[in-house]
Amino acid sequence: MKKNSFPGKVNLVALGIILCIILVLAGAFSLYHFKSRSITTQDVSAASKISGLKFSHKEKKMMLGDLETNLKNYGEMREVSLENSVAPALVFNPLPQGFDFSRFLKDTDFIPEEPAEVQLPDNLEDLAFYPVTDLAWLIKHRRIGSEFLTRLYLQRLKKYGPKLRCVVTLTEDLALQQAARADRELAAGIYRGPLHGIPYGLKDLFATRGYPTTWGSPIFKDQQLDAEATVYEKLTEAGAVLVAKLSMGELAWGDVWFGGQTLNPWDPEQGSSGSSAGSASATAAGLVAFAIGTETWGSIVSPSTRCGTSGLRPTFGRVSRYGAMALSWSMDKIGPIARSVDDLALIFKYLVGPDGKDRTVYDLPFSYDSRLDLKKIRIGYLKEAFDRARNNKEKYLAVLDVLKSMGLELVEIRLPSIDPNIISFILNAEAAAAFDELTRNDLDELMVRQGQNAWPNVFRQARFIPAVEYIQANRIRTLLIEDMARILKDIDVYVTPSAGPNLLLTNLTGHPAVVVPCGFDDGGHPVSISFIGNLFEEGKALRLARAYQQATGWHLKHPDLSRLDRLEPQASTQR
């Protein structure tokens, strides 16, 4: 009899159905697993490549759970509102091991050089280019009033500011009120000091209640902060008169902002560099008596060089940054831009010291003696920087000749062997954190400058800097701080061309710099030299720079603004 095979077929069909069910369930499980775990080993491989790391498949798989937890935490963190004013709990310390504070407490003298007498010019318009020291004498002795001087500067700001694109907001009503108060106080015998009644400008990243603080960006064009920057409060207490909020490169990069490119008054075909672009341009053009700028990586030194002004980038931790836009919490510094080193010293005296709001500020006196014997200052110079200068080398070498002609001995020094550029991404990481919401909410697309060498791209790529490498970079920074302490152990001030690796290095280590003009190139553009001091020893750097200025007089020259007549003005805000 033939055997019936039907039951076997049934078994095969059942087996097939079971296999299909298993496959469906497996697929569903895989899909669920995929959806519930968005990070894969392939993602880890790609991220590892960006960081220059290698892991085995087993190691990658082991990470996935923790990476998912981190991602969840990131999402919850982003629900917490973090305004730009909120600083990290970590505070940068520029001090090398064994740093001795006691020596700063012994010498607390501030001895400026006061003019014996100042004559009024035949053309009162020329007062616009007088240094603060001379204007202070004229106001103190009531040869001119603060309101007269303020109106003179306001008139020039209205005439030239739009063409140089260096003014964001005229604070005319406030300025006239402050000037009138200064004149009333002086008439009553109240004199606040050398800044009494002196008109000045603020870089537009300082909060001033009642006025926009735009940070140079269309994103924050209408931003009004309910705060007063400590710097503004201190200058107001000193009797200074705020006439304008001055332009800055958007979010403190370069000289381009939502109003255009701030121009160099010496050459309107050229930008004023940045990001304290408006502060330097307005000062050089005689639109303010002085201005306040900030520096993270050259933003006082660079525009001062381009515009032929004198600038002071102080030691990190000297001036409170409360009320100022944060770009890099471990690198931002605030300092004056003026016409002379004497002016820098006078202004800086009113800026230093803690306010209880910025935890990075040290409570140390500012010592400055304009008559200090130069032979008591131990001077170094970066020979390699002078040798490697490609342009204007003869101008830089002439600075050394001037100093030697004073009978001063200069000792050759060398920078640390570690290239500071390898850790320059510290700035990128902190800046990306300061403006994190712009990146995550695509607001960076509204910024003026786009492209590879602009903030939007930098903010994005900085998100891929590993936290471990950021910490490692700051450990290398510690090595640079210690190296600089050893190099400068027997040096008070050293001289160097303003550009080059020294600029980034000393911004990372927190050392002060005084930048002053040292001549002009073949095209009539100013050239500068920098005097770098030890930590908290701005006074000695200022003293040496002052001696150089007295011997040369480059700072006494100012630009011919008739070249601006053909320029199209940019409308500024007046309030």
Q: Determine the residue type at 269.
A: E
Catalytic residue among 146, 275, 279, 281: 275
Integer CA distances (angstroms), 361 to 165, 317, 351, in order: 33, 4, 11
Contacts of 292 (CB under 8 A, 6+ apart): 200, 201, 202, 203, 206, 231, 235, 279, 334, 335, 336, 337, 347, 351
Structure-token match 């004013």, residue found? 85
CA 536/CA 104 separation, integer angstroms: 8
User: DSSP state, 121?
Assistant: P
Sheet holding 290-295, edge to edge: 410-412, 379-381, 493-497, 526-533, 513-520, 310-313, 333-338, 290-295, 199-203, 241-246, 167-170, 573-574
Q: How far is CA 242 from the centre of its chain?
A: 21
Among candidate residues 299, 330, 340, 572, the one labeled active-site is 299
Report the Cα–Cα distance between both ends of the chain, in Å, rounded.
Answer: 112
Catalytic residue among 203, 234, 333, 540: 203
- Residue pair 189/207 in contact (Cβ under 8 Å)? The answer is no
Q: How many CB atoms lie within 10 A of CB 262?
A: 35
**Measured distance CA(176)–CA(242) in Å, rounded:** 9
**For 497, which DSSP code?**
E
Active site residue 275: yes
Phi, psi angle pair for 229, to nearest 5° = -60, 140
Q: Report the C-alpha gap between 366 and 107 in whole angstroms.
A: 9
Q: Which two tokens stand for residue 567?
A: 């320029």
Cα-Cα-Cα-Cα dihedral sign, residues 75, 80, 81, 85: negative
d(CA 378, CA 60): 56
Catalytic residue positions?
203, 275, 299
